[in-house]
């Protein structure tokens, strides 16, 4: 009897162990299924975010760039005479139309939300209005009536062209907001998934707690890293990346998120660079130059003078007229490179438009140092260059103004401009100080 009781007791213990094991197994099985379902949902959300909004953002960035190129080509077509250059501008217009149509077709094929489709339809309609006005101007130019063509472009179609740019900018802003909103949603879903998974794991026995710690090491830590990156994205920080060297669903989430952040950051950087740099030479534009001058005011007011050099090429129009605009563009890029190579890393070289450049010298010691730099820059940029067998020799006039930070930026620019004008009227190819 005692032996029978002992065997029954052992059987009850074994049954309890099996029951506990089954409970633990069910808990972890449910936890695993729940986690996999939510991970797959996160993957689908990230994939859709990349395949919809990020792709649309990339396509629309190129559309806006093509629109800008076409606006410049239309104006150049109207102002040029019949011949090679007009044909070249006509090819640019045709090619940019093809690129715009192809990318709009791609955008239409993407499963965009309704409000983004509405924005795309508005942009497409505005492009159609611009093309109607543009074609009227091109027809007038082809018949030799450049005055009418210019009037159409500058009066009738200017507002439409501005509307095209505004529509493009508005649609881009919609896409950026959509990407940011998607990142916030993914962050909330990932956090909720981590919390519920942790709740399921906490419901087990001591063995379940031990296994939950191992699971947390394998799953929760990478998810927290993803959540941390998404939280930074929501605050506007696109510099962080998910570092997961694994081939499972968590690793796939990390790679998808990294690809999304890479495309988004490249798009932001390209938009910012285009807004602050000259498209031909890559130098700073007028807006970025004014920003750098403003930043240098503290140095100037603190006794470390700042110098502004305005440089205007002499005879540049003749280069364009005799050798063509391609030769003129070559000359501008050569001059830009020489100016950039002739200053320090903390100085700023900018193209203000046409054949006019500016150099901002920070923290100069004496006026004699400024004089030496200005004379050296003038001497260096006037060295000959060759373009397709044509020998070109740049010539320039330089106006220099020293700044102590007391006068406004516009006054500093005006003084340098007056000095440059004096250099031109005084014989060109020289440096004059304000």
| Cβ 400 vs Cβ 415: under 8 Å | no
For the question of residue 365 being annotated catalytic, the response is no
431-433 sheet: strands from edge to edge: 348-353, 356-361, 306-313, 396-403, 431-433
User: Pick from 14, 131, 149, 159: which is nearest to 70 by CA?
Assistant: 131
Specify the length of the chain in residues: 434
CA distances from 427 to 313, 396, 422, 431 (A): 13, 11, 9, 10
**Any bridge partners for residue 360, and if so which?**
308, 348
Pairs from 187-191 (Cβ < 8 Å, separation ≥ 24): 187/227, 187/230, 187/231, 187/233, 187/234, 189/38, 189/41, 189/42, 189/45, 190/42, 190/223, 190/226, 190/227, 190/230, 191/227
Rounded distance between C-alpha atoms, residue 384 and residue 377, angstroms = 14
* Radius of gyration of the chain measured on its C-alpha atoms: 33
Catalytically annotated residue among 278, 314, 347, 355: 355
Rounded distance between C-alpha atoms, residue 256 and residue 275, angstroms = 29
Report, as residue numbers or ranges, the catalytic residues. Answer: 355
């Amino acid at each position: 009897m005692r032996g029978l009781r002992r065997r029954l007791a052992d059987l009850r213990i074994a049954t309890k162990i099996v029951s506990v094991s089954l409970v633990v197994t069910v808990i972890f099985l449910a936890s695993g299924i729940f986690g996999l379902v939510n991970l797959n949902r996160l993957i689908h959300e990230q994939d859709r975010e990349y395949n919809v909004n990020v792709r649309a953002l990339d396509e629309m960035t190129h559309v806006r760039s093509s629109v800008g190129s076409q606006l410049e080509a239309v104006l150049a077509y109207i102002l040029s005479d019949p011949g090679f250059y007009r044909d070249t501008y006509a090819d640019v217009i045709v090619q940019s139309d093809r690129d715009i149509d192809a990318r709009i077709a791609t955008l239409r094929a993407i499963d965009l939300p309704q409000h983004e489709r509405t924005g795309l339809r508005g942009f497409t309609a505005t492009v159609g209005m611009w093309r109607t006005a543009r074609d009227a101007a091109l027809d007038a130019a082809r018949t030799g009536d450049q005055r009418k063509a210019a009037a159409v472009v500058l009066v009738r179609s200017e507002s439409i062209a501005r509307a095209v740019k505004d529509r493009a900018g508005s649609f881009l802003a919609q896409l950026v907001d959509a990407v940011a909103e998607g990142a916030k949603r993914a962050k909330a879903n990932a956090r909720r998934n981590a919390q519920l998974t942790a709740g399921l794991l906490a419901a087990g026995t001591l063995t379940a707690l031990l296994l939950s710690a191992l699971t947390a090491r394998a799953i929760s830590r990478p998810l927290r890293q993803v959540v941390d990156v998404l939280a930074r994205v929501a605050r506007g920080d696109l510099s962080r990346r998910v570092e997961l060297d694994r081939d499972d669903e968590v690793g796939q989430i990390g790679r998808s998120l990294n690809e999304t952040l890479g495309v988004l950051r490249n798009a932001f950087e390209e938009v910012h660079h285009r807004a602050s740099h000259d498209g031909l030479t890559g130098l700073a534009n007028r807006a970025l130059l004014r920003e750098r001058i403003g930043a240098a005011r503290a140095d100037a007011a603190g006794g470390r003078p700042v110098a502004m050099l305005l440089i205007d090429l002499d005879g540049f129009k003749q280069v364009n007229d005799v050798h063509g605009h391609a030769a003129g563009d070559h000359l501008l890029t050569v001059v830009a490179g020489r100016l950039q190579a002739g200053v320090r890393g903390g100085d700023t070289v900018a193209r203000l438009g046409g054949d006019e450049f500016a150099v901002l010298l920070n923290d100069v010691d004496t006026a004699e140092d400024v004089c030496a730099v200005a004379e050296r820059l003038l001497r260096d940029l006037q060295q000959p260059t060759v373009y397709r067998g044509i020998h070109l020799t740049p010539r320039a006039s330089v106006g220099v103004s020293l700044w102590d930070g007391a006068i406004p930026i516009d006054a500093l620019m005006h003084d340098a401009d007056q000095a440059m004008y004096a250099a031109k009227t005084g014989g060109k190819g020289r440096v004059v100080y304000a």
